[in-house]
Amino acid sequence: MSNFAIETNGLTKRFGDVLAVDHVDLRVGVGEIYGFLGLNGAGKTTTIRALLGMIRPSEGNVKVLGQPVGPNGRGPWAQVGHLVENPSAYPELTVRENLDMARRLQGIQNPKVVDEAMAALSIASYADRKAGTLSSGNFQRLGLARAMLHSPELLILDEPANGLDPAGVVEIRELIKSLAQEKGVTIFMSSHILTEVDRIATRIGIIHKGKLIEEWDTEKREQLRTKRLEIRARNLEGAFISMQSAGFKPVIKDETILIEHVHAIDFPDDIVRILVNAGAPPIHLAVVQENLEDYFLKLTNGPSLQAQVTKQSPTQVEIASSPKNDSSQ
């Protein structure tokens, strides 16, 4: 078997004139948790459907667990679980019946897997409830239970945390982590909850306008994060001028001075000294990291931090319009 659980070569999908996926080369290693990020319409779901043989690539090919997918939708599906877009179930059937149906279609003889899946997803108490009467969170859990029912080697999950309450999000995150860490299940998940992906994924791929534009492993993500020094002072103007005079090119956002200069981040004690000498001692000083969301938005040409600062007030427009310090990060 190939070392990759998922492998695509030049995967391309056109719908008429629309290029939904553009020569995507994915390599997802066995046991990885791969986060697949993209804006709405970026091509995430189309890629996932191609991985599952639900659509035929216009160009390129797909291999899942070392086996080619298609033609005619064929693939190693007994080893693959999936949740595509919103979960679905037959509303007139109970939770148990929906899962039992999935069990039979998966070719599993042991009916106990249904109880195990319901227990794992905390829906055992809804076993005899009709799926159509479930809350959206429990409906999502039912979809996940169906995906995990047959203990697959690979789980392909499209927005798995959709509709879940905060406790449910944590629970599913831990479940996914344990599947990968304890059972070696490979997870390929798309999500718009970027912080969630950041917490769980061993590698993240960014898809934008159908192209896989970047991939980050954990180490690279750490390197890419912009660290910033946050300063708050009662004499905000004095603090700002002193930082400018020291060559740190500060910006102000929400009554907070932000500095991205490496020296300021590595030696905040120097900054404190400068501020105290300037008569603007800090009341708050912290090194913070830019979150993945900001990076993602920058990469996909979404609203940047500077643009957000620009919206604050006319004074801040003037401050924010100064060019960014090239030496920072």
Partner 1 sequence: MKSLSPALWTEILKMRRSKVPLFTAIGFSIAPLMGGLFMIILKDPEAAKSMGLISAKAQLMVGVADWPTFFNILSQAVAVGGAILFAIVTIWVFGREFSDRTAKELLALPTSREAIVTAKFIVIGVWTFLLSLFIFGLGLIVGALVDIPGWSIALLRSASVDVLGSAVLVIALLPFVAFIASMGRGYLPPFGWTILTVALAQIAIITGWGDWFPWSVSALFSGAVGPRAEILGLHSYGIVFLASVLALAATFYWWRNADQTK
Q: Kindly list the residues in this chain that would bind partner 1 in the complex (CB under 8 A).
A: 15, 49, 52-56, 71-73, 75, 77-78, 80, 82, 84-86, 88-93, 97, 101-102, 104-107, 146
Q: Which residue has the tokens 């831990």?
A: 174
Are 76 and 1 spatial neighbours (Cβ–Cβ below 8 Å)?
no
Give 52 or 120: the residue with its C-beta nearer to partner 1: 52
* Three-class DSSP labels, 190-208: ECCCHHHHHHHCCEEEEEE
Q: How far is the CB of 56 from partner 1 (least distance, A)?
A: 6
Sign of the dihedral defined by the CA atoms of residues 266, 270, 276, 278, in that order: negative
Type of residue found at 192: H
CA 46 – CA 49 distance, rounded (Å): 5
Count other C-beta atoms under 10 Å from residue 203's C-beta: 18
Collapsing DSSP to helix, strand or coil, 258 comes out as: strand
Q: How far is the CB of 173 from partner 1 (least distance, A)?
A: 24
Q: How far is the CB of 53 from partner 1 (least distance, A)?
A: 6
Give 78 or 286: the residue with its C-beta nearer to partner 1: 78
Q: How far is the CB of 60 from partner 1 (least distance, A)?
A: 15
Q: How far is the CB of 21 from partner 1 (least distance, A)?
A: 12
By 3-state DSSP, what share of the chain in percent is helix, strand and coil, each rounded to 5?
Answer: 40, 25, 35
Give 77 or 240: the residue with its C-beta nearer to partner 1: 77
CA 274 – CA 281 distance, rounded (Å): 9
Give 72 or 110: the residue with its C-beta nearer to partner 1: 72
Q: How far is the CB of 152 from partner 1 (least distance, A)?
A: 11
Give 64 or 264: the residue with its C-beta nearer to partner 1: 64
Give 150 or 203: the residue with its C-beta nearer to partner 1: 150
